[in-house]
């Protein structure tokens, strides 16, 4: 973990550990089902922010800032869910970084 957790770049592993260090006790008590519901709520908020930030709507600086915050919230809740489920996100992401495992484009 970096000396200053606010410094960038922050690796996936560093971020997951930061979330674990700050929230694991309460996250584990809430459980997978409750945590999943929080994640879905944040995904809904991200969906709303994405709509508000459509280029044709000429989003304000505050709307753009909110969009970034909603992306961060979704990542934090995803890391939380991974932590209480015993999943190492950095390891899981090797699915996309190891040659030959996932190729082509999504359609």
Q: What is the pTM of this model?
A: 0.85
- 64 occurs within a structural domain: yes
Contact yes or no for 84/31 (Cβ under 8 A):
yes
- 68 occurs within a structural domain: yes
- 103 occurs within a structural domain: no
Domain of 59? 36-89
For residue 84, the SS3 value is: helix
**What is the per-residue pLDDT for 1?**
47
- 94 occurs within a structural domain: no
**What is the per-residue pLDDT for 107?**
63
| Residue 5 CA: distances (Å) to CA of 36, 52, 84 | 25, 31, 21
Contact yes or no for 63/53 (Cβ under 8 A):
yes
Residue with tokens 């969009």: 67
- Count up the domains in the chain and report the number: 1
Q: What is the mean pLDDT of the chain?
A: 92
- 12 occurs within a structural domain: no
């Amino acid at each position: 973990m970096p000396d200053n957790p606010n410094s960038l770049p922050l690796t996936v592993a560093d971020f997951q550990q930061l979330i674990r260090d700050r929230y694991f006790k309460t996250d584990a008590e809430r459980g997978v089902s409750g945590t999943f519901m929080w994640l879905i709520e944040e995904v809904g908020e991200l969906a709303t922010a994405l709509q508000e930030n459509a280029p044709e709507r000429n989003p304000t600086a505050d709307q753009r800032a909110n969009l970034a915050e909603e992306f961060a919230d979704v990542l934090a809740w995803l890391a939380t869910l991974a932590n209480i489920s015993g999943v190492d996100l950095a390891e899981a992401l090797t699915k996309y970084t190891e040659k030959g495992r996932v190729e082509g484009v999504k359609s």
